[in-house]
Amino acid sequence: MGSPRNTWILITVGIGTLLSSMTNSVTNTVLPVIAQHLHLTISLASWVNLIYLLVLILLLLPAGRLADMVNRRALMTAGYIVFGLSSVGAALSHTLFWLLAARGMSAVAGALLLSVGPAVLTATFPRDQRGRALGWQALMTYFGLAVGPILGGWLAQLAGWPAVFWVAVPISALGAVQALLWIPGAGLGRPRAFDTWGSIFFVVAMVAVTLIMNPSAYPGQEALALVVLGVVALIAAPLFILRQQRFADPMIDLGLFRARNYLYGTLGAMINYLCFFVALFLLPFYLTTIRSWSVGQVGLVLTIMPALMMVLAPWAGSLSDRLGSRGLSTLGMLANALGLGAFALAAVVPSVGLVLLVGGLVLMGAGTGLFAAPNNAAIMKAAPGSKQGVASGTLATARYVGMVGGTTLGSSLFHLLTNMDARGPHPFLTAFIWVMGIGAAFGLLGCLVTLSMERREGGLPHSTARMSQEC
């Protein structure tokens, strides 16, 4: 990976990736325990995850702009410090309100870490090593996802669910020290104006859309709220797009989407994480409710997915440097679709349910491991050097939009289907089967998206790249 300094930069960025993925997987694993302790329905419990993902979505693009404008060392150090403090707050929370507040602050920190990290790596490593570097970051993501379920299940059984948040505190402290020592201070680009109005329009539009997809946030007022939120979204979204077209240094450089791999790679990332989070959110509830497993057993079996992802990610990243991203990304997406289909069949045919469950976990672990690093490399290679912060922020936003979509599909749609079949013999199983089947359909759609990528990778056409940099 080059010089020792480059290796330490890779490790420092990886700590932030580890923190975000580990807290997500820990929270998903122990969510049934949190719901039981705080007397929450599945749809309300989903907000413990959704608040984190929503705040990330709202801040990743502005943080990506900051990564191109100001001192990256300061941004990353601040991210680690806030993450540690917010983890203390989550561990001390005893009501849903304070837990959501702490999770929201963790997301503020996560936005800084996840936007600055890829931009630092892309600026540090030469073009022919970026796939490998991003592959190792995917490895840290999957290591966090792998450790989280086992660690969370064990700690929740041993000391209660608040204990799972204490783990992030010493890791955050280590990350802050490493950032001060190794992360380069300067951003890449010239000083630029911050798009305040664009950020406001983006925040308003995304909050409105997220609340539209999650009516559990306003029970009893669904009709009125949907009308108001729909009007707000229809006003704010076009204003945001118009602002990006006219502002000199926009949050999203729309010119980048003229590159085929940037456009379809971003859409593919969104769909991939939607599929993954449908399974990640609902499986713990299925295993504890239908199969009566303990939280420790749930954590152990869910480790199958990230363990395979951790093994395959570096290999897939290196392979994409030689073979390109299109084939690997499509193969990974197809495996995800088949995995979700296996989960649905596991509920339909309980006699072989355990075999299908394990098979689905293997397919989804292998699929996401094959997909992530090659797809990330294709997107980042398509963006010019001066736009790497914006590109990484846009990519991270697309991933978290997919995560919100998957969590919403696994909570709101599940809640709706359960109510529709409330008098049926097995409303939970019926809703579970339908949600997993719909998730599999999204995976097949994702295959069509990744097949639309170019076989030959590269950046923007010369004229487009120049236009992008001048916007």
Q: Indicate the pTM of the whole model.
A: 0.81
Dist. CA 197–CA 269, nearest whole Å? 27
210-227 pLDDT, tens digit each: 888 777 677 777 778 889
Could you tell me if 229 and 316 lie in one domain?
A: no
Could you tell me if 181 and 330 lie in one domain?
A: yes
Q: How crowded is the C-beta side of 196, counted as CA atoms within 13 Å?
A: 1
Could you tell me if 238 and 271 lie in one domain?
A: no
Contact between 200 and 400 under an 8 Å Cβ cutoff? The reply is no
Dist. CA 358–CA 361, nearest whole Å? 5
Domain boundary among 207, 222, 246: 246
Could you tell me if 225 and 293 lie in one domain?
A: no
pLDDT, position 414:
84
pLDDT, position 135:
66
pLDDT, position 466:
33
pLDDT, position 457:
57
For the chain, residues with pLDDT lower than 70 are 1-2, 131, 135, 138, 186-193, 216, 385-386, 388-389, 393, 421-425, 456-471
Could you tell me if 224 and 259 lie in one domain?
A: no
Could you tell me if 401 and 430 lie in one domain?
A: yes
Could you tell me if 164 and 223 lie in one domain?
A: no
pLDDT, position 469:
31
Dist. CA 178–CA 174, nearest whole Å? 6
Could you tell me if 443 and 352 lie in one domain?
A: yes
Could you tell me if 242 and 143 lie in one domain?
A: no
Could you tell me if 117 and 216 lie in one domain?
A: no
Could you tell me if 225 and 87 lie in one domain?
A: no
Dist. CA 406–CA 29, nearest whole Å? 16
Residues 56, 58, 61, 66, CA torsion sign: negative
- The whole-angstrom distance between residue 238's C-alpha and the CA centroid of its chain comes to 25
Dist. CA 399–CA 76, nearest whole Å? 20
Burial 7-20 (b: 16+ CB within 10 A, else e): eebbbbbbbbbbbb
DSSP, res 92: T
Q: Domain of 314: which CATH number?
A: 1.20.1250.20
Residues 78, 55, 132, 308, CA torsion sign: positive
| Structure-token match 């419990």, residue found | 45
Domain boundary among 211, 246, 281: 246
pLDDT, position 468:
33
pLDDT, position 187:
52
| Segments forming the whole domain that contains residue 425 | 4-195+247-470
247-261 pLDDT, tens digit each: 877 777 787 888 888
pLDDT, position 471:
33
pLDDT, position 448:
94
pLDDT, position 465:
36
Could you tell me if 253 and 235 lie in one domain?
A: no
- Domain tally, the chain: 2
| Structure-token match 């599940």, residue found | 414
Domain boundary among 210, 225, 246: 246
